Amino acid sequence: MVDTPADRLGNLARQGGRRFWRGLEEWIDDKAAQDWLAAEFPAAFDEGIGRRQLLKIMAASVAMTGLSGCGPAPEIPAVPYVTQPVDYIPGMPRWFATAIPFDGYAQPVLAECHAGRPTRLDGNSLHPMSGVNIAAFTQAAVQQLYDPERSSAVTFRGRITTWDVFAAALQEERHRLLKGGGKGLRILTGPQSSPTFLRQMTALRGIFPEMRWHGHWSVGGSRSEASYKAFGRVLQVTPRLDRAVVAVSLEDDILGPGPLQISAARRWAGQRRKGQGFPLLFVAESTPTLTGAMAHRRIATASGRIPLLAAALSGLRPQLTPAEAAWVQAVQQAVKDNPGGAVVSAGVHQPADVQASCMAQAHRWGEPGRTVSYSEPVVIEPDAGFAELVADMRAGQVRTLLMFDVNPVYATSGVVDFAGALARVPFSAHAAGIYDETAALSQWHLPMAHPLESWSDCRAADGSVTILQPLIAPLRQGRTIHQILDGLAGQPDPDAFTPVRATWQSKLEERAWRQALEDGRAPDTAFAEVAVAPRPMSPSAGAAPPPGTEVVFRPDPSIWDGRFANCTWLQELPKPASKVVWDNIVAVSPAMGRKLQVDTGQVVEVEVEGRQLRGPAWILPGQAAETVTLFFGYGRQRGGSISEGLGYDAYPLLPARPGASWAGRITRIGENHHLVSTQLHHAIDGQDLVRIVAPGEGIDDAAETTVGHPGLPTLYPRYPYPGHAWGMVIDNDLCIGCNACVIACQAENNIPSVGKDQVAVSREMHWLRIDRYYEGDLDHPYTHFQPVPCMHCENAPCELGCPVNATVHSPEGVNEMIYNRCIGTRTCATYCPYKVRRFNYYFFTRQAAPLEWAHRNPEVTVRARGVMEKCTYCIQRIAKARIVADREGRAIADGAVQTACQNACPTSAIVFGNLNDSQSAVAGRRGSRRNYGLLDQLNTWPRTTYLARIRRKGAGEA
């Protein structure tokens, strides 16, 4: 038992007693944490209201309720169309294919539209890069669309003005520029792949030959230099995890958040689903990532030592630590055992030489075109980089600067004084969806249309083009980048549609154009694979980094570079490794925590090149011993009231020169920061929550008698389910912990965000949570993810507890929650061994701004204060499918009901369906020898079960 922080840190050194543990508190048997977990109502806390005050409020509310209960129903208007669109059926959603661009890559989506309001996004099932799957970031686009703090007016020097005034100013500026052939005209964008943008830039270069286009990468960067070094041309290099048997990641978070996550995760799952534990992932990284969590063999090593590992993999003999050498040897053995089936990839932040040598190595290891594929690059190379732009701005060579959807004042190294350089530009205009730091310092700020309000086009990971079509007229008088560029080209009144249609005029005649819009994918636009040969390269052995602390920078897994900072969904999304919400952390290793006597939550000062910042430390199991990781995206000055004032800003510490890691110092400050993490919330008390088997092996049969079979004795009769028996099986072997399902559930089921203070007392409302378990030792743990929705127990303890029958069982085995019956005793929640019930302590849904009401799903009740809620197996989707099938007099086909979490999951870890149908996918999984129920010893007969994770022999930590 541990009481003081010093004891805690001292105990980090000892061997933990448990095999699986959720956090340091469990590793070291923290007494306070255990007391907190053991409390009957861990969420009960002091609201700052006295007893008398509470009674007064209660009396008043009773009186008010009585009054408001009387009275006739209000008049509810019905507002039909004047002319109804041909394919519109009142009460039915319509679906439109479009895409959400993310760092130049289209994320194909199908948008659900209720009476003209986009309410939710799914992946585009016709698109091979996404299928129906969709990442958390992409889904949050709907919340961004209805963000009441989106920029709503053109401003000039901070004062509100109109588009007409800007148009006039732009025309004036244009005439001035024409005289000099466009000298001094600069355009700054993020990564772009839009053919219309490319066409417009070509046209603009005809008008302004001296114009230059600069690209700004807020995180990561381009692989163009590396691919040029390796193959002599700029290429899109895609590791084919669907074909590879051995995959080596040198700090490349292939499965982690980012624009390529969905396509990569789908490929990985394609191989993984074969059940043999392939691809064997070998991961070397400094900071735990989702890829690392899926690793067969992971090594935590400094980011600065990755080049050494790359050199070792290409046959050189750099000086390695014994652990590194063992890891390299294991990789080489695996490659030898699986000839032609290996691939290797280095992180985009690693030096181009290292990336290039990995690309060449992957080419040597894999059979041609099998484990890695090459195509034209999706993201278009800009004329020049960001550094050149800043140099020119300082030198006074930039007269006119147009910035589109970038925030360089915030998302730039602290050494680069972009704000100072911007002040020297006579005409600066910043177009973005939100009035951010850059907007405040630019002369003009222009509200930009949201992708769901825009005509545009964008290439997906395979190069195929999706035409973006608007689902709603701009809510905030935003315009698209194409409109503004057309204005620059001299169009007096540019509209959004014409420039995009013009690009495709010759390639898609009207029919094909409409088909491309309907499909969400223009035909014959995907890039063909190209055959290449690596250039001869002399592999460099790489120099060992100086000993001591290294500092690395990463995008935040939930907020990225800060562009999602005003999204409550994403702020409240527990970050996969730390489960922290509403904050960023300074990740340090357990060893460093011991050394510095810094505990989780204590503020540390990190110094790089003489610049300092302070942030809360987080002792992260699996972090490389000497690595300090800082996360971008927080510490926003402007960007909406949700984003401001949270966390620390890592950008000022970021050096200007490119690199993967920097020597730094970290010191303990000592004060505490109130960090909120959900890692111990809703903790299940029990054994064998995570199970692991070898390929082909089943869970011990003797232990597996209670799930789905008559098992332990019970006094209750088994209820027959002659019709449908809905059930879900979650394959732990496929879950990468990406959180897509959590946001999908939130979007589908109108789940509110509750804020940091409420999460701190376990009141988060997510119906589906992802439990993260560590296995093994503190410095090199395995990581397991386990999504936990309601188990829909056939023998449900919660149902016994409810005094008003507000939670009952359906004839199809769904554990129902009837909101209008619930009186809020919370008994069911205390009876639930899985801790999946959520209570509305406040009227969260009424506090939302009216604009936010628009993205609620009309098929799901919006819950009020004082009622319990939980996963319903997306009962609205079951009801809809049943009605359609029933109307046509047929059975519900397998797959006709897909839950929101199942749709979103890029690895198909979640399967839902009718257990009574022996041909259904879910029954197939249920019959797997890997199938087990959580806490099945409690005799709850859960309808949601899990498949054990597969681990091949030889897995181990270096």
Binding flag, residue 66, other proteins (CB under 8 A): no
Question: Given candidates 250, 358, 814, 848, which one binds other proteins under the rule CB under 8 A?
Answer: 814
The pattern of x and - marking residues 840 through 869 that bind other proteins according to CB under 8 A reads -------------------xxxx-------
Can you spell out the DSSP letters for 734-800?
T-----HHHHHHHHHTTPPP--HHHHHTT----SSEEEEEEES-SSS-EEEEEEE-----TT-HHHH
Question: Given candidates 181, 523, 645, 723, which one binds other proteins under the rule CB under 8 A?
Answer: 723
| First-last CA distance in the chain | 30
Shortest gap between Cβ of 805 and other proteins (angstroms)? 9
**Taking the CB of residue 188, how many other CB atoms lie within 10 A of it?**
23
Question: Given candidates 48, 66, 91, 610, which one binds other proteins under the rule CB under 8 A?
Answer: 91
Question: Given candidates 90, 322, 546, 720, which one binds other proteins under the rule CB under 8 A?
Answer: 90
d(CA 552, CA 287): 9
d(CA 668, CA 594): 11
Shortest gap between Cβ of 886 and other proteins (angstroms)? 6
Shortest gap between Cβ of 881 and other proteins (angstroms)? 12
Give the strand pairing for 246-250 and 342-346: parallel
Tokens of 799: 């149902």
Binding flag, residue 879, other proteins (CB under 8 A): yes
d(CA 258, CA 906): 13
d(CA 930, CA 688): 13
Whichever of 50 and 77 has its CB closer to other proteins, that residue is: 77
Binding flag, residue 67, other proteins (CB under 8 A): no
Tokens of 324: 């590194």
Shortest gap between Cβ of 548 and other proteins (angstroms)? 58
H helical segments located in 590-739: 590-596
Shortest gap between Cβ of 804 and other proteins (angstroms)? 12
Whichever of 696 and 723 has its CB closer to other proteins, that residue is: 723
Binding flag, residue 886, other proteins (CB under 8 A): yes
Task: List Cβ neighbours of 49 (8 Å cut-off, separation of 6 or more).
Answer: 57
Strand partners, 617: 586
Burial of residue 851 (number of CB atoms within 10 Å: 0-12, 13-18, 19+): middle
d(CA 482, CA 196): 7
DSSP conformational letter for 935: T
How many residues sit in the footprint of other proteins (CB under 8 A)? 39
The answer to whether the beta carbons of residues 765 and 742 sit under 8 Å apart is no
Alpha carbon of 878 to those of 161, 163, 238, 724, 923: distances in Å? Answer: 50, 47, 38, 11, 17
Q: In 157-208, where do the E strands start and end?
A: 159-161, 185-189
The answer to whether the beta carbons of residues 505 and 467 sit under 8 Å apart is no
Shortest gap between Cβ of 471 and other proteins (angstroms)? 19
Binding flag, residue 83, other proteins (CB under 8 A): yes
d(CA 649, CA 615): 9
Site for other proteins in 816-835 (CB under 8 A): 816, 818-820
Whichever of 49 and 883 has its CB closer to other proteins, that residue is: 883
Binding flag, residue 286, other proteins (CB under 8 A): no
Nearest CA among 554, 563, 582, 564 for reference residue 645: 582
Binding flag, residue 947, other proteins (CB under 8 A): no
d(CA 940, CA 607): 53
DSSP conformational letter for 711: -
Q: Which stretch binds other proteins (CB under 8 A): 478-486, 520-528, 792-800, 809-817?
A: 809-817
Strand partners, 95: 112
The length of the chain is 958
d(CA 869, CA 586): 35
Q: In 190-268, where do the E strands start and end?
A: 212-215, 236-239, 246-250
Question: Given candidates 48, 50, 66, 77, which one binds other proteins under the rule CB under 8 A?
Answer: 77
Question: Given candidates 44, 54, 64, 92, which one binds other proteins under the rule CB under 8 A?
Answer: 92
d(CA 737, CA 841): 28
Which three-class secondary structure state does DSSP give residue 400?
Answer: strand
Binding flag, residue 810, other proteins (CB under 8 A): yes
Whichever of 724 and 772 has its CB closer to other proteins, that residue is: 724
Shortest gap between Cβ of 96 and other proteins (angstroms)? 18
d(CA 649, CA 634): 5
Shortest gap between Cβ of 118 and other proteins (angstroms)? 19
Binding flag, residue 872, other proteins (CB under 8 A): yes
d(CA 86, CA 286): 56
Burial of residue 609 (number of CB atoms within 10 Å: 0-12, 13-18, 19+): middle
Question: Given candidates 423, 473, 883, 893, which one binds other proteins under the rule CB under 8 A?
Answer: 883
Question: Given candidates 73, 531, 702, 715, which one binds other proteins under the rule CB under 8 A?
Answer: 73
Binding flag, residue 78, other proteins (CB under 8 A): yes
**Taking the CB of residue 427, how many other CB atoms lie within 10 A of it?**
20
Binding flag, residue 531, other proteins (CB under 8 A): no
Binding flag, residue 939, other proteins (CB under 8 A): no
Residue carrying the six token digits 């064997």: 280
Whichever of 483 and 861 has its CB closer to other proteins, that residue is: 861
Shortest gap between Cβ of 393 and other proteins (angstroms)? 48
Whichever of 172 and 886 has its CB closer to other proteins, that residue is: 886
Shortest gap between Cβ of 924 and other proteins (angstroms)? 26
Question: Given candidates 203, 440, 537, 808, which one binds other proteins under the rule CB under 8 A?
Answer: 808
Q: Which stretch binds other proteins (CB under 8 A): 536-544, 680-688, 813-821, 927-935?
A: 813-821
Shortest gap between Cβ of 260 and other proteins (angstroms)? 36
d(CA 594, CA 419): 40
Question: Given candidates 84, 597, 637, 714, which one binds other proteins under the rule CB under 8 A?
Answer: 84
Whichever of 530 and 818 has its CB closer to other proteins, that residue is: 818
Site for other proteins in 2-31 (CB under 8 A): none
Question: Given candidates 48, 72, 610, 803, which one binds other proteins under the rule CB under 8 A?
Answer: 72
Shortest gap between Cβ of 821 and other proteins (angstroms)? 8
d(CA 600, CA 694): 35
Shortest gap between Cβ of 150 and other proteins (angstroms)? 26
Whichever of 43 and 818 has its CB closer to other proteins, that residue is: 818
Shortest gap between Cβ of 162 and other proteins (angstroms)? 24
Whichever of 235 and 874 has its CB closer to other proteins, that residue is: 874
Which three-class secondary structure state does DSSP give residue 381?
Answer: coil
Shortest gap between Cβ of 845 and other proteins (angstroms)? 11
Q: Which stretch binds other proteins (CB under 8 A): 82-90, 165-173, 461-469, 947-955?
A: 82-90
Question: Given candidates 89, 531, 702, 715, which one binds other proteins under the rule CB under 8 A?
Answer: 89
Shortest gap between Cβ of 568 and other proteins (angstroms)? 23
d(CA 839, CA 390): 52
Binding flag, residue 713, other proteins (CB under 8 A): no
The pattern of x and - marking residues 914 through 933 that bind other proteins according to CB under 8 A reads --------------------
Q: Which stretch binds other proteins (CB under 8 A): 291-299, 420-428, 804-812, 918-926?
A: 804-812
The answer to whether the beta carbons of residues 551 and 632 sit under 8 Å apart is no
* Site of interaction with other proteins (CB under 8 A): 70, 72-73, 75-84, 89-92, 723, 808, 810-811, 814, 816, 818-820, 859-862, 872, 875-876, 878-879, 883, 886-887, 889
